[in-house]
């Protein structure tokens, strides 16, 4: 079974994380940020070390361990009951991040919509990222050279992800708007996506209790 997914797409600093966190509060939507997953690793673990090596230069971590980390994280979310693949939709933020990742994930996710948080002037993102560096403890946001490299990586590798999906799935959202209006643009589209046809099983705690009572 493929996981239902919505992709939050855009250059570093476009606001994918901000929107992902808010949207992930809506019942049946689960936010997954690959950057957060990497930052959650112990820096003395093998993959943690690989992450620091690449991220500190503004480069992408190799595809294989990245997809593996994503799959393991999703399995973890399922195991602890935070993601129910039958009823929920994953909000993928930061993954897939190049054409190869999109190809690998093709068999694993069913993409319902892609939000391209575009920014006409990439330089605006540099300012945003520097501001973020002060608020969050992010090595890769602190250095202008690393930021420029990340924007280059985005242009060189990540933009191509959009070509891997049918145009009708892609929704352009102006990321220079205030977060509230970006959110509004996204919600208007999400509200029109048909809900999954879920099985008769309980999807909430209350339903589970009522089913259990009927069973006895």
In the complex, the residues that contact ligand ADP under the rule CB under 6 A are 12-13, 34-35, 38, 54-55, 59-61, 66, 94-95, 97, 101, 140, 150
Q: How far apart are CA 15 and CA 60, in angstroms?
A: 19
Nearer to ligand ADP, 89 or 153 (CB): 153
Q: How far is the CB of 38 from ligand ADP (least distance, A)?
A: 5
Nearer to ligand ADP, 31 or 150 (CB): 150
Q: How far is the CB of 165 from ligand ADP (least distance, A)?
A: 16
Q: Are 2 and 107 in contact (CB under 8 A)?
A: yes
User: The tokens of 49 are what?
Assistant: 């070390």
Q: How far is the CB of 209 from ligand ADP (least distance, A)?
A: 39
Q: How far is the CB of 45 from ligand ADP (least distance, A)?
A: 15
Please count the helices (runs of H) and the strands (runs of E) in the chain.
Answer: 10, 5
Q: How far apart are CA 138 and CA 144, in angstroms?
A: 13
Cβ neighbours of 135 (radius 10 Å)? 8
Q: Are 38 and 51 in contact (CB under 8 A)?
A: yes
Does residue 150 sit in helix, strand or coil? helix
Nearer to ligand ADP, 94 or 114 (CB): 94
Q: 89-93 and 29-33 as β-strands: parallel, antiparallel, unpaired?
A: parallel
Q: Are 84 and 203 in contact (CB under 8 A)?
A: yes
Nearer to ligand ADP, 4 or 150 (CB): 150
Q: How far is the CB of 1 from ligand ADP (least distance, A)?
A: 22
Residues shown for the chain:
216
Q: How far is the CB of 210 from ligand ADP (least distance, A)?
A: 41
Q: Which residue is nearest to ligand ADP (CB)?
A: 35
Nearer to ligand ADP, 88 or 94 (CB): 94
Q: How far apart are CA 129 and CA 8, in angstroms?
A: 18
Nearer to ligand ADP, 44 or 168 (CB): 44
């Amino acid at each position: 079974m493929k996981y239902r997914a919505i992709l939050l797409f855009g250059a570093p600093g476009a606001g994918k994380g901000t929107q992902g966190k808010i949207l992930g509060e809506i019942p049946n939507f689960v936010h997954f940020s690959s950057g957060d997953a990497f930052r959650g690793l112990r820096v003395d673990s093998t993959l943690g070390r690989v992450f620091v090596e690449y991220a500190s230069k503004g480069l992408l971590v190799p595809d294989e361990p990245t997809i593996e980390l994503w799959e393991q994280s999703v399995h973890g979310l399922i195991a602890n009951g935070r993601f129910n693949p039958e009823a929920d939709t994953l909000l993928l933020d930061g993954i897939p991040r190049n054409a190869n990742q999109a190809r690998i994930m093709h068999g694993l996710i069913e993409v319902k919509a892609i939000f391209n948080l575009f920014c006409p002037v990439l330089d605006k993102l540099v300012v945003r990222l520097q501001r973020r560096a002060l608020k969050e403890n992010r090595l890769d946001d602190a250095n202008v050279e690393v930021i420029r490299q990340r924007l280059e990586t985005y242009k060189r590798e990540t933009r191509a992800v959009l070509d891997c999906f049918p145009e009708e799935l892609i929704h352009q959202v102006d990321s220079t708007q205030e977060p509230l209006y970006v959110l509004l643009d996204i919600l208007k589209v999400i509200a029109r996506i048909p809900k999954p046809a879920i099985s008769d099983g309980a999807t909430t705690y209350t339903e589970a209790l009522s089913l259990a009572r009927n069973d006895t």
